[in-house]
Amino acid sequence: MFKDITIGQYFPGETLVHKFDPKLKILTMMLFIASLFFIGSIYMYIPVVIYLLLIIYVAKLPMGLVFRGLKPLRWIILVTFIINLFFTPGEAKYTLGFLKISQAGIDLAVFMGIRLVLLVLGTSLLTYTTSPIELTDGIESLLRPFRRIGVPSHEIAMMMTIALRFIPTLIEETDKIMKAQMARGADFESGNIVKRAKNLVPLLVPLFINSFRRAEELATAMEARCYKGGNGRTKMNASKIVKKDVIIFVGNIIFYAVIILVSKL
């Protein structure tokens, strides 16, 4: 089950998407997320889907693996769909016992379901095509103006990147511990919710211990290499925004603006 979780994974490549400046890539992703909530027509999500498929194709990412990342979130998407479907106020169009379905509920449920799917796919492309080092540099560069008011931009960027980087590691560690416990007779799949929660205790305890151990080893390694934070640090490969990056970024802005404006007509 854990093999379906692809959050935080990076797929190296030399494509146009991989070489896109990380700062502009993060800004583009923020614009993408914002545009999803401003689109007023369900039909305008079609060009957005085509846009994402085009990015996946250009980045040469495994199509099946990208969509497999939706599997762990299927219950969240389903619950969100059901809540919006049955609990959105409006004139009842269908009745299922004491539950009433309105046209507004159907529209909102479909909107939210599509938005969640596109949101997960779109944000996943950022980590798929951006290395942890590039991601750290991009976040730090975007947060640098806030250093004047005391915001530790480098530390925040480092923590966010380390958290993303260790998600696949913790998932792999969880899978190994679960298989070891199952070999000793542990059962994680049968029983009710309470019983399943109790069965997770033998899994969570060694997972937390290993996580703290990894965190201590990482801190020791950083101290051994004289890591002192962002003050006075230089970069081995400093990212530079070139003309091609600006053209791609402006093109994305125009695309999002057109999609939003047309959907409002």
pLDDT single digits (tens) 73-96? 777 888 888 887 777 777 777 777
Q: Are 235 and 137 in contact (CB under 8 A)?
A: yes
pLDDT of residue 250: 93
Q: What letter represents residue 27's amino acid?
A: L
**Which H or E element spans position 96?**
strand 92-96
- Dihedral angle sign, alpha carbons of residues 136, 139, 145, 146: negative
CA–CA separation, 89 and 92 (whole Å): 8
pLDDT of residue 221: 83
Q: Are 23 and 141 in contact (CB under 8 A)?
A: yes
**0.85 exceeded by pTM:** no
Ranges of the chain whose pLDDT falls below 50:
1
pLDDT of residue 247: 92
